[in-house]
Structure formats: C-alpha cells, structure tokens
Amino acid sequence: MGAKKNGRFEARFTALREEMEKVIVGCRDVIEELMTCLFSGGNALIESPPGLGKTLIVKTLSEALDLHFSRIQFTPDLMPADIVGTNVIMQDDMGKRYFEFQHGPVFTHILLADEINRATPKTQSALLEAMQEHAVTVGGVRYELEEPFIVVATENHLETEGTYSLPEAQIDRFFFNSRLRSPGLEELREIGRRTTTTFSYTVKEQLNREEVEEMKREARGVEVESDVRRYASRIVLATHPTHETATDTVRRFVRYGSSPRGTQALTIGGKVRALLDGRKSVSPEDMRSVAKPSLRHRLILNFEGEAENIDPDDIIDEVIKQTPESGA
Amino acid sequence: MSDEISKVIVGYKDIIDNVLTALMSRGNVLLEGVPGIGKTMLVRTLGEVLDLRFRRVQFTADLMPADIVGTNMISQDEAGNRTFRFERGPVFTHLLLADEINRATPKTQSALLEAMEEHSVTVAGTQYVLDEPFFVLATQNPIEMEGTYPLPQAELDKFIFKLDVPFPGLDDLDEIIVRTTYEEMPPVDVVAKGEDILELRKLVRQVPIAPHVEDYAARTILATSPVSEFATDMVKRYVRAGSSPRGLQGLILAGKVKALLDGRYAVSCDDIDEMAHATLRHRVQRNLEAEAEEISPDAIVSDILEKTPQTAEAA
C-alpha cells in the first residue's frame, strides 16, 4: 500500500464530507465521526435533542454513497419482527399455502434507529444482535446482511419518561458515541436560508459500495507501532478507578472504566485518522482525536459523578493529559 | 484444545481451562465479568474448535420462556388440515451463551435452567430432547444491579462453576488490539468433535478416587456450613448457609478432569483444592456481616482450604 493510495483515501473522504456539507450546516465533528465509524466498520450512537438534523445527516450520507437507507422510529410497541422481518403465510396458484420470509427494514446498508431507548429491551437487543452479527435469524434460518452495514442509533435524553435506557453492556457495542450540539447564531441563520427559501440541492453520489468496502479494508491495513498501540491500552486502563494509573477524577467519579472495545475504537478510529493525514501508521495524536467518541459512552459514573453532573468528556481530557505517550 | 482456543482468545488461560473442565464434567458455567471482555468470543471459539453448533441469547427483562425453548405454531398441510408445528427455540443447539442472564424475569431464567438441568424441554406436554453435548455458559455482569433479577441460590447451585473474569492487564489489552484491529482472526482448527466430548465425559467418570480424597472433599463441603462440626471460625462468623451436595459432585468431577489433564489416573487432594474456588464461591452464602465487611466468598473458601486437614486423622 503506497503513499499514493493513502492520498486517494483522503481525497475520497474529503469529497464525501464536502458533498455532505452542501446540505448539512455545521456539525463537522459529527459528520467526520460518522464517516470514520463507517470506514472502521463500526456502528454509531448519536446523542442529540430532537430537530438537529440527525435523520438528514444519515440520509445525506447514504445518498452520497449510493447506499440503501432505512429509518426505524423506535416506539414502546415496536416488536423484534418489525425490525428483522417475519415469515408470512402465502398462497400459490394451486392454492397451496407456504411460508415466505418478508425482509424487515434491517435489510439495508445504513440503518437509522431513531430514539432507540423508546423500545422495549427485547426489541433493542434484536437490533443490537443484527448489528453485531451482520445477520439475523428468523424461524431457524439465518439471513446475512449485505456489506457495508452500519447502524446509526440516536438516543434522546430530554424526554426520558417511558423510555428504556440501554444497559451498559449494550451501549458498549457502539463503536463511537457522537454528540450533536445545538447550532450557533451563524449556523442557525444558514439553516434558515437553506430550508425556508427555494434553495435545493441534489446530493451527488461520491462513492459506490465497492469503494466503501475497499476503504474499509485499507483502513484496517494501516500499521500501528507497538508503542502507540500500548498508548491506547494505557489510556483505557487509566479510566479504571482501581487501576494504579487512574487519574484523580477517575478515582472520584468513575464506577467502571472502558472495556477493551474502547481500545479497539481508539486504534481503528486512529487508523482512519492516519490515512486522512496521508500517513501509513497511527500517531498518538490520531488516537487522541478519536478519544472522546471512543470512550465517553464507556465510562460509567458512580453516584457522586452522576450527582455532580460530571461530563465524561472532562474526565477523558484529564486522562489524556496525564497518560504518557510512551512508557511501560 | 486449550491451545487452539488461545489462538483467538487473549489471556484467560485458567478461565479457558475451567470452562473446558466444566464441559468434560457435564456441568454448566456462570461467568461474571464486565461487558466487552470477550465472553461471546470465547463460546464461539469453543464451538468452532469442537465443531459444535453455537447460539447466543441476549437476556432482557421482557424475554419470555418461549423465546428460549420455542413455541407451537399453527400450520396447514397439503390436505388443508391445520396442525400444530413446534418451532424450535435457540436452546436447540450444543453451546448456548445466555448473555446477562440476570436481566430476565425469574420464570424465563428458570426455563433455561430447566433445560440446562434436564437436557430436554417440555412444551405443551411434549418432551423434546436436546442434542448432546449440551453446554450452557451464562454470563452476568456486576455492573448495574438496578433492573436485574439476581439468580436465586437454588438456581445458582445448578452451575458447576462460577468463574470471575478479571479485566485484562496492559499486555493482554495490547494483544487484543493486535488480534482484532487488522484483517482477519486466525482460523482455528477443529481439534475434537461432539462425540469425542461424550467419550471424554464417560472417561472422566471412570477416574477412580481414593477414599481419603473422597473424605477430604466431603469434609471441605461440610466446612462451608456454619452449623457443621467442621466449620471454620470464619464460616461460623460470616456464612449464612453452606454448599449443597451439588458442590461435592462438582468438586469430585472437576478433580477427576484435573487429574486426567495432568496425566494421572486418580484424584488427589490437591486437585480438589485447585477446583474449590470455582466450585464453591457461588455456593457459600454470606451473611449480612460478611457483606458489610466486604469479605469475599473467595476469602472464605481459601480459609476453609487452609484449615481443613487433608487427612481425617489430623482432624
């Protein structure tokens, strides 16, 4: 894999981002994180209040990639079969009845699972299983999903009454957790211009399915030197309150630190960042740039942390500041 | 077998060995550990190495018994007659990973435990026998006790071992990154088949045990009970109830596997000692005082092993 090819990764990535920004105002972090997640083969959890354009972001991404897109609004009465599909009885010309599998909305490339915390646990776990396995099993038959398959789930933390929070073990399965922030004055005015005038833009396809798969493979192939790799593990260990390297705020406010999946997100996310910078190996800075989306949902605060409304991002800042780039 | 699994799973050598020991003893295992440390990977790899079918069920608060064992569906045959057809649930497999078992309601938990104990399920009066070998690996995580239904003691007792899976250290974490962030996982070779496991299970039961070792195992079990004459001071002070006879079966069977693995053809007292923590930690019920003082079941088991003499004469 030569430098030229790495340059192409970056060019493709940038073209895709720029195309999305023709529709989406601001939110560059979230767009980049979402794309990093896609090329890492992970799934994303986006936290956001309603109306900030989550659906638009995900839909635009699918249009710019010529990928199939489905959206499921999660509700308390959504059933697993509403996601994966179900066997229905059909009748042929001879009047004979037989079962036929009706594919559910999970058979897509990009799946937006809106307000995932509104569904009951069994329905949530049906989605998460599909997300993990890239396959679903119905009536004893296994159906593979086509690659790429990425789930973008959203959680709304404002209206929490009647919701079923995802258990930590399930949240841990998301590669990245992004935060969509409310737009500032300038961005808000631009949103007004784009949405209340005759402005309209048709998203042009930037990459096809094979190209996305190729970029995923390219990302995995990036090297990580052992010292940098260990940096990822050291960051994760420093989020554990009982570990000797834990920082003061971790000891005080964290109940459980990140799982090993956090190190995987740091490393693979870091690989994508390295490619974007035209490099063939991951630097500590690459890992730092993905530390928050990789770790914020994997830190579980203790009672004191919850009571004092501690932001996991602040804890991650401190962990990064205090974790040496090289060492034991 | 253990080596083949280690190609995929980083570290946890003793956990892997204990899981295999349980499999040979025809027991089931409860794993306790935080999420994301590779429990699913372990069971999946075990399935691949042994060429056995594998299913995973995520337990949730609204999971129903029928989601595990299966259910009767109405179907119509060619003549137009409607009949009930049994749709087999995920329990019809060889290796079943019951993830976060303590999230389901008691009735659902007990449906699984019944299948685990009987190696069969009964739906609407018909009994369906599960394929052998059938092995359940259940997990529970210590996080988030809210909204969970802890397994009652009687159900915990049905697991031959409870294994605590610790968080990996720096070197193991590093190795996990090496193995999971590049292209492919190394393929594992099939090293044994289902029938081999059944053979081994028979062989295990044929391993002889000397009377004095049997006696030692029994005294160890009695020592966990605060009302027994063999109880240690620590047990008298901190334990509410001790191990059931299942603990003894577990100790002896696991000891037999251990002996075989070491190439010996008889169980020694050391084999019993080695398996004692995994077999007894979930069977020693601590009292309020122990919980308040944070005395771990492992500490109590260690104390018992230390104070229980290997020969009856010394007692």
CATH code for the domain in which residue B49 is found: 3.40.50.300
| Token output for B143 | 């996080």
DSSP state of A143: E
Domain interval for residue B22: 2-180
* pLDDT cut 90: percent of chain B above it: 1
CATH code for the domain in which residue B263 is found: 1.10.8.80
| Token output for A196 | 């209340």
In terms of domains, do B168 and B225 share one? Answer: no
Residues of A in contact with B173 (CB under 8 A): 232-233, 236-237, 260, 263
In terms of domains, do A178 and A71 share one? Answer: yes
- What confidence score (pLDDT) does residue A43 get? 92
Asked whether B88 and B70 are in contact (CB, 8 A), the reply is yes
Are A220 and B170 within 8 A, CB to CB?
no
- What confidence score (pLDDT) does residue A166 get? 80
Which of B32, B93, B173, B183 is the best residue to mutate to test the A interface, defined by the most A CB atoms within 10 Å of its own CB? B173
pLDDT, one tens digit per residue, over B118-158 is 888 888 788 888 888 888 999 887 755 566 777 888 888 88
pLDDT, one tens digit per residue, over B281-293 is 898 888 888 788 8
Helix (H, G, I), strand (E, B) or coil at B229: coil
Cα angle, residue B210 at apex, residues B209 and B214 outer, rounded to 5°: 75
In terms of domains, do B281 and B171 share one? Answer: no
Domain interval for residue A238: 222-328
In terms of domains, do B224 and B167 share one? Answer: no
pLDDT, one tens digit per residue, over A128-162 is 888 888 888 887 788 899 889 999 998 877 666 66
| Token output for A224 | 């990580």
Asked whether A301 and A307 are in contact (CB, 8 A), the reply is no
Q: What is the mean pLDDT of chain A?
A: 85
Average pLDDT over residues B199-204: 86
Are A220 and B183 within 8 A, CB to CB?
yes
- Cα of first residue to Cα of last residue in chain B, in angstroms, is 40
Q: What is the mean pLDDT of chain B?
A: 82
Q: How many domains does chain A have?
A: 2
In terms of domains, do B220 and B159 share one? Answer: no
Residues of A in contact with B169 (CB under 8 A): 237
- What confidence score (pLDDT) does residue B220 get? 86
Higher pLDDT, B147 or B66: B66
Torsion angle, alpha carbons of B165, B169, B171, B174, to 10: 80
In terms of domains, do A217 and A290 share one? Answer: no
In terms of domains, do A293 and A320 share one? Answer: yes
In terms of domains, do A169 and A64 share one? Answer: yes
Residues of A in contact with B66 (CB under 8 A): none
CATH code for the domain in which residue A231 is found: 1.10.8.80
Kindly tell me if the per-residue pLDDT of B307 is higher than 60: yes
Last residue of some domain: A221, A256, A289? A221
In terms of domains, do A166 and A235 share one? Answer: no
Decide if B70 touches A, using CB distance below 8 A.
Answer: no
Identity of the residue in A96, A124, A261 whose CB atom sits nearest the CB atom of B36: A261
Are A263 and B58 within 8 A, CB to CB?
no
Decide if B141 touches A, using CB distance below 8 A.
Answer: yes
Q: Which residue of A has its CA nearest to B147?
A: A167
DSSP state of A136: E
Average pLDDT over residues B175-195: 75
- What confidence score (pLDDT) does residue A101 get? 86
In terms of domains, do B87 and B8 share one? Answer: yes
Kindly tell me if the per-residue pLDDT of B8 is higher than 70: no
In terms of domains, do A309 and A188 share one? Answer: no
Residues of A in contact with B178 (CB under 8 A): 229
In terms of domains, do A216 and A282 share one? Answer: no
Confidence category of residue A295, pLDDT binned at 50, 70, 90: very high
In terms of domains, do A31 and A118 share one? Answer: yes
Question: What is the longest distance spanned by two Cα atoms in chain A?
Answer: 74
Alpha helices in chain A (DSSP H): 3-21, 28-40, 54-65, 80-84, 121-133, 168-171, 185-196, 209-220, 226-238, 248-253, 260-276, 284-289, 291-295, 303-307, 312-322
Are A233 and B103 within 8 A, CB to CB?
no
Last residue of some domain: B163, B180, B197? B180
Kindly tell me if the per-residue pLDDT of B314 is higher than 60: no
- What confidence score (pLDDT) does residue A203 get? 83
Kindly tell me if the per-residue pLDDT of A199 is higher than 80: no
In terms of domains, do B152 and B31 share one? Answer: yes
Average pLDDT over residues B41-50: 82
In terms of domains, do B222 and B170 share one? Answer: no
Decide if A255 touches B, using CB distance below 8 A.
Answer: yes
Confidence category of residue A107, pLDDT binned at 50, 70, 90: very high
In terms of domains, do B174 and B39 share one? Answer: yes
Are A169 and B180 within 8 A, CB to CB?
no
> Is B199 within a domain?
no
DSSP secondary structure, A20-78, as one string: HHTTS-S-HHHHHHHHHHHHHT--EEEE--TTSSHHHHHHHHHHHHT--EEEEE--TT-
- What confidence score (pLDDT) does residue A316 get? 92
Kindly tell me if the per-residue pLDDT of A2 is higher than 50: no
Average pLDDT over residues A193-199: 78
* pLDDT cut 70: percent of chain B above it: 90
In terms of domains, do B104 and B232 share one? Answer: no
Average pLDDT over residues A163-181: 84
> Is B247 within a domain?
yes
Residues of B in contact with A129 (CB under 8 A): 56, 58
Kindly tell me if the per-residue pLDDT of B166 is higher than 90: no
Which of A89, A133, A267 is the best residue to mutate to test the B interface, defined by the most B CB atoms within 10 Å of its own CB? A267
Are A237 and B173 within 8 A, CB to CB?
yes
In terms of domains, do B38 and B141 share one? Answer: yes
In terms of domains, do B59 and B123 share one? Answer: yes
- What confidence score (pLDDT) does residue A4 get? 46
Decide if A302 touches B, using CB distance below 8 A.
Answer: no
Alpha helices in chain B (DSSP H): 2-6, 13-24, 39-50, 65-69, 106-118, 153-156, 170-180, 194-206, 211-223, 233-238, 245-261, 269-280, 288-292, 297-307
Kindly tell me if the per-residue pLDDT of A328 is higher than 70: no
CATH code for the domain in which residue A88 is found: 3.40.50.300
pLDDT, one tens digit per residue, over A48-92 is 877 788 888 888 888 888 889 999 998 888 898 899 988 887 777
For the ranges A85-89, A136-140, B9-13, B175-179, which has the lowest average pLDDT?
B9-13
Q: How many domains does chain B have?
A: 2
CA distance B35 to chain A (A): 5
Last residue of some domain: A178, A199, A221? A221
Identity of the residue in A125, A139, A261 whose CB atom sits nearest the CB atom of B60: A125
> Is B189 within a domain?
no
Identity of the residue in A139, A217, A233 whose CB atom sits nearest the CB atom of B173: A233
Cβ neighbors of A298 (< 8 A, separation 6 or more) are A171, A172, A239, A257, A258, A259, A261, A262, B36
In terms of domains, do A328 and A206 share one? Answer: no
> Is B309 within a domain?
yes
Kindly tell me if the per-residue pLDDT of A98 is higher than 80: no
In terms of domains, do A110 and A200 share one? Answer: yes
Exposed, middle or buried by CB within 10 Å (0-12, 13-18, 19+), for A62? buried
Are B183 and A221 within 8 A, CB to CB?
yes
Are B173 and A259 within 8 A, CB to CB?
no
In terms of domains, do A217 and A112 share one? Answer: yes
Confidence category of residue B312, pLDDT binned at 50, 70, 90: low
Q: Taking the model in full, what pTM does it have? A: 0.80
> Is B222 within a domain?
yes
In terms of domains, do B24 and B162 share one? Answer: yes
- What confidence score (pLDDT) does residue B313 get? 57
Average pLDDT over residues B185-207: 80
In terms of domains, do A63 and A91 share one? Answer: yes
- What confidence score (pLDDT) does residue B122 get? 83
Decide if B78 touches A, using CB distance below 8 A.
Answer: yes
Last residue of some domain: A221, A249, A282? A221
- What confidence score (pLDDT) does residue B143 get? 59
